[in-house]
Amino acid sequence: MSIDYSADVKRYAAAADENAVAGIVKHLGIALKSADASLVSCSSKDELERIRESWLKKKLQLTQDDAELDKGIKAVCEKMKADHSKQRVTFYYLLADHYGKVSALA
C-alpha cells in the first residue's frame, strides 16, 4: 500500500511544496515503512516531546523555548484533529509551515 503524501499534505496546505514533501519523506526514510511509526499520536506526551526535540530543534533548528514549540505542536494537533490517523509527513510539513521553514526542506 503506497500513500500519496503530497495529496495528504494538500488537504491542509493546498499550495504545498512538492520538493519539501519529498524532503520530509527522505528524512523519515525507513520509519515510514512501519504503519505505527508513520503516524503521529497527539495523545502521546513522549512522542510530542520527541517531535519537538528531533524535528523542531534538530532538523528545523528552531531556538524558541519548549513552551513556544509545544504551542506550535498543539496548533498542528488541533488543525488535524479530525484525522484519526495523522500522517507523520503531513504533521511535519504543517509544523515546518507554521514556523516558516518549508523552504529549508526542499
Q: Give the domain range for residue 54.
A: 5-104
Give the model's pLDDT for residue 2. 65
Cβ atoms of residues 59 and 27 within 8 Å: yes
Q: Tell me: pLDDT of 3 over 90.
A: no
Give the model's pLDDT for residue 68. 97
Contacts of 105 (CB under 8 A, 6+ apart): 17, 19, 20, 23, 24, 27, 93, 96
Task: Copy the grid coordinates of residue 12.
Answer: 491542509
Quote the number of domains for the chain: 1
CATH code, domain carrying 59? 1.10.238.120
pTM here is 0.95
pLDDT, tens digit (0-9, with 9 covering 90-100), for 74-86: 999 999 999 989 9
Task: Copy the grid coordinates of residue 80.
Answer: 488535524
